[in-house]
Amino acid sequence: MAAFPRGGLVEVVGQDAGVLATHGTVEALARAIRATASLDRTKVRAYAVEHHSLDRTVSDYEALYRRAATAVTGGLPV
């Protein structure tokens, strides 16, 4: 994956999973795209599975909702 370092993309693109463009230009993004060719595909896949799989996403959202609900209920169990 190649992306501009904006918003949530900084978190989505990990060190081993992609390349962030150094500047907000088309040329910088083109360089980042070319640089992705040298990424280790095994590491890219492992990062994606570990950080962005369906199971991980569901687990992260459940934890987020639990924290939000606990904050609203003043610490009472949800």
The Cα–Cα gap between 44 and 33 comes to: 14
Domain positions in the chain: 2-72
The Cα–Cα gap between 74 and 68 comes to: 10
With CA atoms as reference, report the closest residue to 41 among 1, 6, 10, 72: 1
- The predicted model scores a pTM of 0.69
Pull the structure tokens for residue 49.
């599975």
What's the pLDDT tens digit per position in 24-60?
999 999 999 999 999 999 999 999 999 889 999 999 9
With CA atoms as reference, report the closest residue to 56 among 78, 64, 5: 64
pLDDT at 8: 86
Beta-bridged to residue 2, according to DSSP, are 19
